[in-house]
Structure 1
Amino acid sequence: MVIGSLHDHAMGALLGLAIGDALGMPTQSMSPETIRAEYGNAPIRTFIEASARQPIAANMQAGSVTDDTEQALLLANQLIDGNGELDIRQYACALLNWEADMKAKGSLDLLGPSTKRALEQFQAGVAVEQTGILGTTNGGAMRACPIGIANRPGPHLAEIARRSSIVTHNTRQGLESTMLVAAAVSYGINGAAPVEALLLACNFVTAYLAMRQFEGLDAGHWSAKASVIARARWAINWARDHTGDNAADLYDHDMFAQHLRDLIGTSVEANESVPAACAIIARYAERPYDALVVAANLGGDTDTIAAISGAILGACHGAGALPTDLARTVEEVNGLDLAAVAERLLELSERDEYER
């Protein structure tokens, strides 16, 4: 049994993921103006029911998670069942089965555009190395938290993150974003502060992909879109430069959010949503709850930005830094046992590298 600080930080990562996801659920894919029209001018600061005009999750119960948490836990189970390894064909089948279950329930919260296209290719018999070559969105990144819990920073983490990404997001942006989130969670669980975890993760991803290129190995299909890592570094520095003394003021939150939308973007593209999460983490490094509130009210891919922010901040600070009422509610509403998942994943991380 895994006990103590590591378990608290692993729990923090999973709870941060789920709480951020559920806070962002009612606002996902909506503009800031539509969010205010539907839910009022005051920012959303707790779990609320989705409105009837929510485009993806109409009338969903307050505290419900979305595909971000559900697919992250699906990946966690794949890692647990595989004793730390990942069979990507089995993983692809599990994602297809998950969507079939969602459709049977009448849900519109289904696979994202890159994942759906890639898995249709997989079903048609296309090799898994080719199915994800157009995937530049954040589907790999939103699922990556369990990889960071199950692995200490090192080659095995990088390889499992790469494998988890290639079937659906085998682009440079897909690999960078997935590995960045996994590595930042791992560094956080192992003692790094939030900004330190992000910067270490950026260096980790850059070095690993450069090594693969040097060795003539695949490092993600080329896309003309901007680098996730380059934009994440810029976003971190920008956010740190624009953290004022009066950061708790509501107008200051709004002004930061407006600049973030204008300069970075909040779409499902990995090179917008992941740097946006990095900027929020950097600015609210010592205030995880404020970070999640800002993310949930941004507009755009709010559930994913909040989920990624929560996973990394929770990993760094531990479960105790998150509101206990929200933690209790998100587990009760969704029937989750995150403590058990955290323990099983941490048991994988304690295995010696030679056993793998």
Structure 2
Amino acid sequence: MAADALDRAMGALIGGALGDALGMPTQLLSPARIAELYGHVEDFVAPVADHPVSKGLPAGAITDDTEQALLLGRILISSGERFDHARWVNALLGWERDVKARGSYDLLGPSTKRAIDAINSGVPAEEAGRTGDTNGAAMRIAPVGIMIPPEPLGALVAKVAETCRATHNTSIAIASAAAVAAAVSSGVGGSDWRVASERAIAAARLGAMIGHWVTGGDIAARIAWAQELVRGKSEREAIRLIVDLIGTGVASQESVPAAFAVLEVAEGDAWRAAVISANLGGDTDTIGAIAAGMAGAWAGLSQLPQDRIASLKGIDLAEVRALAGDLVSARTGKAGSGKEAAA
């Protein structure tokens, strides 16, 4: 059981990295521009020389999506039961300094940057994230799903909300991150992608009741609608529907339902989810990281394409395995505590 959970935990993290890296050269571009520059993206490619964000990165390079997810995982482990907001904020600032030194243009997202500027100006962490409604929380939330069992669902959503507080303390962002975390948690627990999608919708409903309310479409309703919209459609038609109707921007109510729609079209296949995401246009790396990460949690590392994993750049598989092991150990302890409490 522990070995299976570790395989699925690795599947979530490495699946996310595959989706991130495949979408790296296509992010911020339109579907037409992607086709013009790269054709139909089906494998890792290097970004064009004048790419606004990814220029200079090699084919197969991960971006902020994967790096911040791994960073959050390490903070979760070091924090213990009470999430350390100060350590988390300082880690994000350190991460941005590091990527700037590396010459990267893929920096902190708008909500995270705004919140950290506020914290540095003296605003309490509990208030700094009150306007954070973009997808930064959802893109890096997979470690919470690995560490926290899916039941009781309220406990999982509470931990998601705790990690969102400093940067994305809004109903939309928490609902979005809760949906992704619940899907990952269900997958690590052995559920298939359909069951996990249902649990994600339930988690989104709970998450929407937490944090500062901001206007926008209901995340749970939009996930269910997005999956129904593309169900049974061809891949080409589904991509058109996702782009035209769901949206692929950084807004949580676009990119997170889009990721669940991709999952539906891919029928839970992580690499196919990554490929579909990379060709959507917009926030392709984040949609790919979320969709392929959720799919990877259900498939496990052993079912992911090993040749593509070997081609990833900027990620240490041994470090990821160690982190996944720590997260699974923490999950096992929480599950055991829950059983003892129930008894």
Same-fold status (TM-score > 0.5)? yes
**Contact between 2:71 and 2:91, CA under 8 Å: does it hold in 1?**
yes
TM-score by length of 2: 0.93
Please list, as runs of the form range in 1=range in 2, the aligned pairs for 1:157-172 lying within 5 A after superposition: 157-172=156-171
Count of residue pairs brought into register by the alignment: 335
Among all aligned residue pairs of Structure 1 and Structure 2, give the percentage whose two residues are the same amino acid: 41
For 1:157, give the aligned amino acid: L
Spell out structure 1 runs of 4+ moving beyond 4 A.
none
Counterpart code for 1:232: I
Equivalent position of 1:195 in the other structure: 194
- State whether structure 2 residue 226 is matched by structure 1 residue 235: yes
* Alignment match of 2:61 (pick from 60, 64, 73): 64
In the TM superposition, 1:57-96 aligns within 5 A as 57-83=54-80, 85-96=82-93
Amino acid at match of 1:185: V
Are positions 1:45 and 2:42 aligned together? yes
Q: Give the Cα separation in 2 of the matches to 1:303 and 1:191.
A: 26
**Cα deviation digits, residues 292-341 of structure 1 (max 9, x gap):** 101011100000000000111001111133211111222x6433422222
**Does 1:334 find its partner at 2:312?**
no
Which deviates more, 108-117 or 154-163? 154-163
- Counterparts of residues 163-182 of structure 1 (less than 5 Å): 163-182=162-181
Report the counterpart of residue 98 of structure 2 in structure 1. 101
Partners of 1:208 and 1:22 in 2: CA distance: 29
Query: Which residue number in structure 2 is paired with residue 34 of structure 1?
Result: 33
1:276 aligns with 2:266: no
Could you list the per-position Cα deviations for residues 269-290 of structure 1 after superposition, in whole angstroms to 9, with x for gaps in the alignment? 0000000000111221243322
Q: Which residue of 1 aligns with 2:51?
A: 54
1:293 pairs, out of 260, 275, 299, with 275
- TM-score of the aligned structures, taking structure 1 as reference length: 0.90
Offset, 1:3: 4.2
Tell me the secondary structure at the aligned position of residue 24 of structure 2: helix
Matched with 1:350 is 332
RMSD: 1.8
> Is the CA contact 1:195–1:281 (under 8 Å) kept in the aligned structure 2?
no
Q: CA deviation at 1:199?
A: 1.1
Letter in 1 for 2:328: L
Tell me the alpha carbon deviations over residues 151-189 of structure 1, each in whole angstroms, 9 at most, x when there is no partner. Answer: 101343222210111211111111101111111100111
Q: In structure 2, what is the Cα distance between the partners aligned to 1:192 and 1:283? A: 18
Q: Does 72-81 or 220-229 show the bigger shift?
A: 220-229
Deviations 1:243-272 (A, max 9, x none): 14xxxxxxx322211111111000000000
Per the alignment, residue 253 of structure 1 pairs with 235
Structure 2: unaligned runs, 5 residues or longer: none
- Structure 1 spans left out of the alignment, 5+ residues: 211-218, 245-251
Partner of 1:19: 18
